[in-house]
Amino acid sequence: MTHPLAMTPPMGWNSWNTFGEKINEQVVLETADLFVKLGLKDAGYEYIVIDDCWSLRERDPKTNEIVPDPVKFPRGMKFVSDYIHKKGLKFGMYSCAGTRTCANFPSSFGHEFLDARTFAKWGVDFLKYDYCNMPFGGQAPLFYRRMGQALRNSGREILFSACEWGAEDVWSWIRSTGASMYRSTGDIFDNFESMKKIAQSQLPKLASSAPGCWNDMDMLTVGMFGRGNVGNAESVQTIDQYKLQFAVWCVWGSPLMLGCDIRKLADMPDVLALVTNKDLLRINQDPLGRQAYAADTCWGNQDVGTVARLLDNNETAVLCHNFTDADRTFHSLLEKLGISYESGLKLRMKDCFTGKTAFSGRDEFSVSVPAKSCRVFLCKPVKA
Ligand code: GLA
Protein backbone atom coordinates (compact mmCIF):
# COMPACT_ATOMS: atom_id res chain seq x y z
CA MET A 1 0.00 0.00 0.00
CA THR A 2 1.23 3.46 -0.77
CA HIS A 3 1.09 6.34 1.64
CA PRO A 4 0.78 9.34 -0.66
CA LEU A 5 1.72 12.76 0.60
CA ALA A 6 -0.72 15.61 0.04
CA MET A 7 1.19 17.56 -2.57
CA THR A 8 -1.34 20.41 -2.51
CA PRO A 9 -3.51 21.57 0.41
CA PRO A 10 -6.51 19.24 0.93
CA MET A 11 -9.92 20.75 0.10
CA GLY A 12 -13.37 19.82 1.35
CA TRP A 13 -16.09 20.51 3.89
CA ASN A 14 -16.34 19.80 7.62
CA SER A 15 -19.56 19.64 9.62
CA TRP A 16 -18.40 21.35 12.83
CA ASN A 17 -18.67 25.08 12.12
CA THR A 18 -22.31 24.96 11.16
CA PHE A 19 -23.75 21.78 12.63
CA GLY A 20 -21.77 20.96 15.78
CA GLU A 21 -23.61 18.13 17.51
CA LYS A 22 -26.60 18.51 15.16
CA ILE A 23 -24.88 16.48 12.46
CA ASN A 24 -26.80 13.70 10.72
CA GLU A 25 -26.93 11.52 7.62
CA GLN A 26 -29.30 13.76 5.71
CA VAL A 27 -27.03 16.80 6.00
CA VAL A 28 -24.01 14.79 4.88
CA LEU A 29 -25.74 13.23 1.86
CA GLU A 30 -27.23 16.56 0.78
CA THR A 31 -23.82 18.17 1.09
CA ALA A 32 -22.33 15.48 -1.15
CA ASP A 33 -25.09 16.01 -3.74
CA LEU A 34 -24.48 19.75 -3.72
CA PHE A 35 -20.72 19.38 -4.04
CA VAL A 36 -21.42 17.95 -7.47
CA LYS A 37 -24.40 20.13 -8.40
CA LEU A 38 -22.87 23.47 -7.42
CA GLY A 39 -19.51 22.79 -9.05
CA LEU A 40 -17.55 22.48 -5.81
CA LYS A 41 -16.26 19.07 -6.84
CA ASP A 42 -15.15 20.43 -10.21
CA ALA A 43 -13.40 23.28 -8.40
CA GLY A 44 -11.35 20.71 -6.44
CA TYR A 45 -13.28 20.26 -3.17
CA GLU A 46 -13.03 16.59 -2.38
CA TYR A 47 -13.44 15.56 1.28
CA ILE A 48 -16.78 15.51 3.11
CA VAL A 49 -15.83 15.31 6.79
CA ILE A 50 -18.06 14.44 9.75
CA ASP A 51 -16.63 16.07 12.87
CA ASP A 52 -17.33 15.28 16.55
CA CYS A 53 -20.66 13.96 17.93
CA TRP A 54 -21.31 11.18 15.38
CA SER A 55 -21.23 8.24 17.82
CA LEU A 56 -22.98 6.85 20.86
CA ARG A 57 -21.56 7.86 24.24
CA GLU A 58 -20.01 4.43 24.88
CA ARG A 59 -18.19 1.80 22.82
CA ASP A 60 -19.82 -1.52 21.93
CA PRO A 61 -19.22 -3.66 25.05
CA LYS A 62 -18.51 -6.77 22.95
CA THR A 63 -16.37 -5.51 20.07
CA ASN A 64 -15.07 -2.38 21.78
CA GLU A 65 -15.69 -0.49 18.54
CA ILE A 66 -17.08 3.05 18.49
CA VAL A 67 -20.74 2.86 17.44
CA PRO A 68 -22.36 5.42 15.13
CA ASP A 69 -25.42 7.04 16.69
CA PRO A 70 -28.33 5.14 15.04
CA VAL A 71 -30.63 8.16 15.27
CA LYS A 72 -28.18 10.47 13.50
CA PHE A 73 -26.83 7.82 11.11
CA PRO A 74 -29.61 5.22 10.76
CA ARG A 75 -27.94 3.37 7.88
CA GLY A 76 -24.45 3.33 9.42
CA MET A 77 -21.19 4.79 8.18
CA LYS A 78 -20.50 2.34 5.35
CA PHE A 79 -23.72 3.55 3.72
CA VAL A 80 -22.62 7.18 4.03
CA SER A 81 -19.19 6.37 2.72
CA ASP A 82 -20.52 4.41 -0.30
CA TYR A 83 -22.85 7.29 -1.11
CA ILE A 84 -20.02 9.82 -1.01
CA HIS A 85 -17.72 7.57 -3.06
CA LYS A 86 -20.38 7.12 -5.76
CA LYS A 87 -20.29 10.88 -6.23
CA GLY A 88 -16.55 10.66 -6.85
CA LEU A 89 -15.84 12.32 -3.49
CA LYS A 90 -13.95 11.21 -0.39
CA PHE A 91 -15.22 10.55 3.11
CA GLY A 92 -13.72 11.95 6.32
CA MET A 93 -14.38 11.22 9.96
CA TYR A 94 -13.20 12.44 13.34
CA SER A 95 -11.63 11.03 16.48
CA CYS A 96 -9.35 12.31 19.20
CA ALA A 97 -5.98 11.40 20.72
CA GLY A 98 -7.24 11.74 24.29
CA THR A 99 -9.53 9.64 26.45
CA ARG A 100 -12.75 11.38 25.31
CA THR A 101 -13.42 13.70 22.37
CA CYS A 102 -13.86 17.41 22.97
CA ALA A 103 -17.65 16.90 23.11
CA ASN A 104 -17.20 13.94 25.48
CA PHE A 105 -17.73 11.02 23.09
CA PRO A 106 -15.49 7.90 22.96
CA SER A 107 -12.02 8.69 21.68
CA SER A 108 -9.08 6.68 20.38
CA PHE A 109 -6.51 6.75 23.19
CA GLY A 110 -5.52 3.10 23.79
CA HIS A 111 -7.74 1.97 20.88
CA GLU A 112 -5.84 3.55 17.99
CA PHE A 113 -5.31 0.38 15.94
CA LEU A 114 -8.85 -0.94 16.51
CA ASP A 115 -10.36 2.40 15.54
CA ALA A 116 -8.18 2.78 12.45
CA ARG A 117 -9.32 -0.68 11.30
CA THR A 118 -12.94 0.28 11.96
CA PHE A 119 -12.55 3.48 9.93
CA ALA A 120 -10.91 1.47 7.13
CA LYS A 121 -13.81 -1.00 7.20
CA TRP A 122 -16.26 1.85 6.74
CA GLY A 123 -14.32 3.22 3.74
CA VAL A 124 -13.01 6.32 5.46
CA ASP A 125 -10.42 8.34 3.46
CA PHE A 126 -9.56 11.08 5.96
CA LEU A 127 -9.30 11.25 9.74
CA LYS A 128 -9.32 14.47 11.74
CA TYR A 129 -7.61 13.71 15.03
CA ASP A 130 -8.26 16.07 17.92
CA TYR A 131 -6.37 16.91 21.14
CA CYS A 132 -8.87 17.03 24.02
CA ASN A 133 -8.53 15.07 27.27
CA MET A 134 -4.93 14.00 26.72
CA PRO A 135 -4.01 11.51 29.45
CA PHE A 136 -0.42 12.71 30.03
CA GLY A 137 1.02 16.15 29.39
CA GLY A 138 3.68 16.64 26.75
CA GLN A 139 3.14 13.33 24.97
CA ALA A 140 1.43 14.54 21.81
CA PRO A 141 4.24 13.46 19.45
CA LEU A 142 3.92 9.89 20.73
CA PHE A 143 0.14 9.72 20.53
CA TYR A 144 -0.05 11.29 17.08
CA ARG A 145 2.70 8.96 15.90
CA ARG A 146 0.64 6.06 17.19
CA MET A 147 -2.46 6.99 15.19
CA GLY A 148 -0.20 7.69 12.22
CA GLN A 149 1.06 4.10 12.40
CA ALA A 150 -2.45 2.77 13.02
CA LEU A 151 -3.72 4.45 9.85
CA ARG A 152 -0.76 3.22 7.81
CA ASN A 153 -1.49 -0.30 9.01
CA SER A 154 -5.26 -0.14 8.60
CA GLY A 155 -5.28 -1.61 5.10
CA ARG A 156 -6.61 1.61 3.58
CA GLU A 157 -5.16 4.92 2.45
CA ILE A 158 -6.43 7.40 5.03
CA LEU A 159 -5.25 10.99 5.08
CA PHE A 160 -4.19 11.95 8.59
CA SER A 161 -5.43 15.40 9.59
CA ALA A 162 -3.92 16.32 12.96
CA CYS A 163 -5.85 18.83 15.04
CA GLU A 164 -3.48 19.73 17.82
CA TRP A 165 -4.09 23.50 18.00
CA GLY A 166 -0.42 24.45 17.66
CA ALA A 167 0.49 23.10 21.10
CA GLU A 168 3.76 21.40 22.09
CA ASP A 169 5.69 23.09 19.28
CA VAL A 170 3.73 21.07 16.72
CA TRP A 171 5.57 22.54 13.70
CA SER A 172 8.78 20.84 14.75
CA TRP A 173 7.53 17.22 14.78
CA ILE A 174 4.14 16.82 13.13
CA ARG A 175 5.52 15.78 9.74
CA SER A 176 7.20 12.81 11.42
CA THR A 177 3.83 11.34 12.45
CA GLY A 178 2.53 10.81 8.92
CA ALA A 179 0.09 13.73 9.11
CA SER A 180 -0.72 15.51 5.84
CA MET A 181 -2.16 18.60 7.52
CA TYR A 182 -2.22 19.94 11.03
CA ARG A 183 -4.16 22.57 12.93
CA SER A 184 -1.89 25.28 14.24
CA THR A 185 -4.32 27.39 16.26
CA GLY A 186 -7.29 27.23 18.60
CA ASP A 187 -10.80 27.13 17.19
CA ILE A 188 -12.11 29.67 14.74
CA PHE A 189 -15.39 31.51 15.33
CA ASP A 190 -17.39 33.33 12.70
CA ASN A 191 -16.30 36.82 13.60
CA PHE A 192 -13.64 39.12 12.22
CA GLU A 193 -11.49 39.24 15.37
CA SER A 194 -11.22 35.45 15.54
CA MET A 195 -10.15 35.19 11.91
CA LYS A 196 -7.69 38.07 12.32
CA LYS A 197 -6.13 36.50 15.41
CA ILE A 198 -5.61 33.17 13.66
CA ALA A 199 -4.25 34.78 10.53
CA GLN A 200 -1.82 37.07 12.33
CA SER A 201 -0.57 34.27 14.58
CA GLN A 202 0.55 32.41 11.45
CA LEU A 203 2.15 35.35 9.64
CA PRO A 204 5.53 34.60 11.24
CA LYS A 205 5.11 30.90 10.38
CA LEU A 206 4.58 30.99 6.64
CA ALA A 207 7.35 28.44 6.14
CA SER A 208 5.43 25.85 8.13
CA SER A 209 3.08 24.95 5.26
CA ALA A 210 4.65 22.78 2.63
CA PRO A 211 3.95 19.91 0.23
CA GLY A 212 3.30 16.77 2.24
CA CYS A 213 2.01 18.49 5.36
CA TRP A 214 0.04 21.73 5.33
CA ASN A 215 -0.58 24.25 8.07
CA ASP A 216 -4.33 24.08 8.65
CA MET A 217 -5.62 27.46 9.84
CA ASP A 218 -9.00 25.84 10.66
CA MET A 219 -12.23 25.39 8.81
CA LEU A 220 -13.41 28.44 6.90
CA THR A 221 -16.31 30.46 8.24
CA VAL A 222 -16.83 32.05 4.82
CA GLY A 223 -20.56 32.17 4.07
CA MET A 224 -21.77 31.49 7.61
CA PHE A 225 -23.05 35.04 8.16
CA GLY A 226 -23.47 34.47 11.89
CA ARG A 227 -25.40 31.19 11.59
CA GLY A 228 -24.58 27.80 13.07
CA ASN A 229 -22.43 26.26 15.76
CA VAL A 230 -19.53 28.74 15.69
CA GLY A 231 -21.65 31.59 14.37
CA ASN A 232 -23.08 34.45 16.35
CA ALA A 233 -25.86 36.70 15.14
CA GLU A 234 -24.12 39.66 16.84
CA SER A 235 -21.02 39.41 14.70
CA VAL A 236 -22.22 38.91 11.14
CA GLN A 237 -19.35 39.36 8.68
CA THR A 238 -19.46 40.96 5.25
CA ILE A 239 -18.48 39.45 1.93
CA ASP A 240 -15.42 41.76 1.93
CA GLN A 241 -14.30 40.24 5.22
CA TYR A 242 -14.84 36.74 3.84
CA LYS A 243 -12.77 37.70 0.78
CA LEU A 244 -9.91 38.54 3.13
CA GLN A 245 -10.27 35.24 4.99
CA PHE A 246 -10.44 33.14 1.84
CA ALA A 247 -7.53 34.94 0.19
CA VAL A 248 -5.33 34.58 3.27
CA TRP A 249 -6.07 30.85 3.50
CA CYS A 250 -5.38 30.44 -0.24
CA VAL A 251 -2.19 32.45 -0.52
CA TRP A 252 -0.65 31.33 2.76
CA GLY A 253 -1.15 27.68 1.80
CA SER A 254 -3.80 26.43 4.24
CA PRO A 255 -6.08 23.49 3.49
CA LEU A 256 -9.49 24.77 2.39
CA MET A 257 -12.19 23.11 4.45
CA LEU A 258 -15.51 24.89 3.98
CA GLY A 259 -17.55 25.22 7.15
CA CYS A 260 -20.73 26.97 6.03
CA ASP A 261 -24.07 25.32 5.31
CA ILE A 262 -23.58 24.10 1.74
CA ARG A 263 -27.37 23.86 1.37
CA LYS A 264 -27.51 27.66 1.52
CA LEU A 265 -24.75 28.27 -1.04
CA ALA A 266 -27.04 28.34 -4.07
CA ASP A 267 -28.72 31.40 -2.57
CA MET A 268 -25.39 33.12 -1.94
CA PRO A 269 -23.89 33.55 -5.43
CA ASP A 270 -21.19 35.93 -4.19
CA VAL A 271 -19.98 33.34 -1.66
CA LEU A 272 -20.13 30.53 -4.20
CA ALA A 273 -18.14 32.66 -6.65
CA LEU A 274 -15.58 33.40 -3.93
CA VAL A 275 -14.95 29.79 -2.89
CA THR A 276 -14.76 28.64 -6.51
CA ASN A 277 -12.64 31.60 -7.69
CA LYS A 278 -10.30 29.95 -10.20
CA ASP A 279 -7.37 32.29 -9.64
CA LEU A 280 -7.44 31.99 -5.86
CA LEU A 281 -7.71 28.21 -6.02
CA ARG A 282 -4.94 28.10 -8.62
CA ILE A 283 -2.73 29.95 -6.13
CA ASN A 284 -3.67 27.65 -3.23
CA GLN A 285 -3.21 24.51 -5.33
CA ASP A 286 -0.03 25.61 -7.09
CA PRO A 287 1.98 22.49 -7.92
CA LEU A 288 5.23 23.92 -6.60
CA GLY A 289 3.78 24.41 -3.12
CA ARG A 290 6.27 27.12 -2.23
CA GLN A 291 5.92 28.98 1.03
CA ALA A 292 4.44 32.45 1.00
CA TYR A 293 6.53 35.30 2.41
CA ALA A 294 5.78 38.61 4.05
CA ALA A 295 7.04 41.01 1.39
CA ASP A 296 6.08 44.26 3.00
CA THR A 297 4.49 45.48 6.19
CA CYS A 298 3.21 48.99 6.13
CA TRP A 299 3.66 51.28 9.09
CA GLY A 300 5.51 48.51 10.93
CA ASN A 301 2.46 46.53 12.01
CA GLN A 302 0.85 43.32 10.83
CA ASP A 303 -2.51 44.86 10.11
CA VAL A 304 -1.58 46.14 6.70
CA GLY A 305 0.87 44.39 4.45
CA THR A 306 1.73 42.36 1.40
CA VAL A 307 2.30 38.62 1.35
CA ALA A 308 3.60 37.10 -1.86
CA ARG A 309 4.22 33.63 -3.16
CA LEU A 310 6.18 32.31 -6.12
CA LEU A 311 4.05 30.12 -8.39
CA ASP A 312 4.59 27.81 -11.29
CA ASN A 313 4.67 29.33 -14.78
CA ASN A 314 6.81 32.23 -13.57
CA GLU A 315 3.87 33.85 -11.85
CA THR A 316 3.79 35.43 -8.39
CA ALA A 317 0.74 35.78 -6.18
CA VAL A 318 0.52 39.09 -4.36
CA LEU A 319 -1.98 39.56 -1.53
CA CYS A 320 -2.42 43.01 -0.01
CA HIS A 321 -4.25 42.54 3.29
CA ASN A 322 -5.93 45.24 5.32
CA PHE A 323 -7.09 44.10 8.77
CA THR A 324 -7.89 47.68 9.85
CA ASP A 325 -11.24 49.41 9.71
CA ALA A 326 -10.06 52.16 7.37
CA ASP A 327 -9.53 51.99 3.60
CA ARG A 328 -5.82 52.12 2.72
CA THR A 329 -3.66 52.85 -0.26
CA PHE A 330 -0.61 50.65 -0.63
CA HIS A 331 2.58 51.77 -2.32
CA SER A 332 4.75 48.71 -2.55
CA LEU A 333 8.19 48.50 -4.09
CA LEU A 334 8.85 45.77 -6.66
CA GLU A 335 12.23 45.58 -4.97
CA LYS A 336 10.47 43.80 -2.07
CA LEU A 337 9.46 41.02 -4.45
CA GLY A 338 13.04 40.66 -5.60
CA ILE A 339 12.49 42.62 -8.82
CA SER A 340 15.01 45.41 -8.86
CA TYR A 341 14.95 48.51 -11.05
CA GLU A 342 18.04 47.16 -12.79
CA SER A 343 16.03 44.13 -14.03
CA GLY A 344 14.21 46.30 -16.59
CA LEU A 345 10.97 44.53 -15.63
CA LYS A 346 7.55 45.58 -14.41
CA LEU A 347 4.55 43.46 -13.38
CA ARG A 348 1.47 42.55 -15.31
CA MET A 349 -1.08 42.26 -12.47
CA LYS A 350 -4.36 40.43 -12.85
CA ASP A 351 -6.85 41.29 -10.11
CA CYS A 352 -8.19 37.92 -8.94
CA PHE A 353 -11.57 39.34 -7.93
CA THR A 354 -12.36 41.53 -10.95
CA GLY A 355 -10.33 39.71 -13.60
CA LYS A 356 -8.98 43.11 -14.77
CA THR A 357 -5.33 43.43 -15.73
CA ALA A 358 -3.12 46.42 -14.98
CA PHE A 359 0.60 47.14 -15.00
CA SER A 360 2.86 48.23 -12.18
CA GLY A 361 5.45 50.92 -12.62
CA ARG A 362 9.08 49.92 -12.99
CA ASP A 363 9.72 50.53 -9.30
CA GLU A 364 6.38 50.23 -7.49
CA PHE A 365 2.71 49.45 -7.63
CA SER A 366 -0.07 51.35 -5.88
CA VAL A 367 -3.39 49.80 -4.97
CA SER A 368 -6.29 50.81 -2.80
CA VAL A 369 -7.50 48.19 -0.35
CA PRO A 370 -10.89 48.44 1.35
CA ALA A 371 -11.18 48.28 5.14
CA LYS A 372 -11.14 44.73 6.56
CA SER A 373 -10.53 43.26 3.16
CA CYS A 374 -7.84 42.66 0.58
CA ARG A 375 -6.74 42.75 -3.05
CA VAL A 376 -5.12 39.74 -4.67
CA PHE A 377 -3.13 39.71 -7.88
CA LEU A 378 -1.66 37.08 -10.15
CA CYS A 379 1.49 38.77 -11.38
CA LYS A 380 3.91 38.11 -14.18
CA PRO A 381 7.10 40.04 -14.88
CA VAL A 382 7.17 41.65 -18.32
CA LYS A 383 9.59 44.06 -20.03
CA ALA A 384 9.14 47.59 -18.72
C1 GLA B 1 -12.06 20.93 18.97
C2 GLA B 1 -11.56 21.16 17.55
C3 GLA B 1 -12.72 21.64 16.69
C4 GLA B 1 -13.84 20.62 16.71
C5 GLA B 1 -14.27 20.37 18.14
C6 GLA B 1 -15.26 19.21 18.24
O7 GLA B 1 -12.42 22.11 19.61
O8 GLA B 1 -10.51 22.07 17.54
O9 GLA B 1 -12.29 21.87 15.37
O10 GLA B 1 -13.40 19.44 16.11
O11 GLA B 1 -13.16 20.03 18.97
O12 GLA B 1 -15.65 18.97 19.56
Do 278 and 296 lie in one domain? The reply is no
Give residue-wise pLDDT tens across range 325-376.
999 998 999 999 999 999 999 999 999 999 999 999 999 999 999 999 999 9
**Would you say residue 217 lies in a domain?**
yes
Contact predicate 176/143, CB 8 Å: no
**Would you say residue 161 lies in a domain?**
yes
Average pLDDT over residues 167-182: 97
Do 207 and 314 lie in one domain? The reply is no
Do 249 and 364 lie in one domain? The reply is no
**Would you say residue 1 lies in a domain?**
no
pLDDT of residue 301: 72
Nearest CA to ligand 1 atom 11: 102
Residue to probe by mutation, ligand 1, list 15, 95, 96, 102, most atoms within 8 Å of CB:
102
Q: Is 33 a catalytic residue?
A: no
* Number of domains comprising the chain: 2
Do 30 and 136 lie in one domain? The reply is yes
Q: Is 187 a catalytic residue?
A: yes
Do 269 and 310 lie in one domain? The reply is no
Nearest CA to ligand 1 atom 8: 187
Do 248 and 353 lie in one domain? The reply is no
- Dmax of the chain from CA atoms? 74
The rounded Å distance from CA 234 to ligand 1 centre is 22
The rounded Å distance from CA 108 to ligand 1 centre is 15
Name the band, by pLDDT with cuts 50, 70 and 90, for residue 247.
very high
Pick from 233, 259, 284: which residue ends a domain?
Answer: 284
Contact predicate 291/285, CB 8 Å: no
**Would you say residue 2 lies in a domain?**
no
Give residue-wise pLDDT tens across range 298-314.
656 789 999 999 999 99
Whole-number Å distance between alpha carbons of 123 and 158: 9
**Would you say residue 21 lies in a domain?**
yes
Tell me the HSE value of 84 on the side-chain side, using a 13 A CA sphere.
Answer: 30
The CATH number of the domain holding residue 360 is: 2.60.40.1180
192-202 helix and 239-252 helix, angle to the nearest 10 degrees: 20
pLDDT of residue 3: 67
Ligand 1 within 6 A of CB of 187: yes
Residue to probe by mutation, ligand 1, list 17, 21, 51, 220, most atoms within 8 Å of CB:
51
Do 178 and 231 lie in one domain? The reply is yes
Residues 51, 115, 125, 130: which is the catalytic one? 130
Whole-number Å distance between alpha carbons of 298 and 222: 26
Whole-number Å distance between alpha carbons of 330 and 283: 22
Residue 52: pLDDT above 80?
yes
Average pLDDT over residues 37-58: 98
The rounded Å distance from CA 332 to ligand 1 centre is 39
Do 359 and 239 lie in one domain? The reply is no
Give residue-wise pLDDT tens across range 253-286.
999 999 999 999 999 999 999 999 999 999 999 9
pLDDT of residue 1: 64
Do 85 and 188 lie in one domain? The reply is yes
**Would you say residue 359 lies in a domain?**
yes
Name the band, by pLDDT with cuts 50, 70 and 90, for residue 20.
very high
Q: Which domain holds residue 59?
A: 11-284
Atom of ligand 1 nearest to the CA of 219: 9
Whole-number Å distance between alpha carbons of 332 and 40: 35
Whole-number Å distance between alpha carbons of 127 and 12: 13
Give residue-wise pLDDT tens across range 64-93.
999 999 999 999 999 999 999 999 999 999
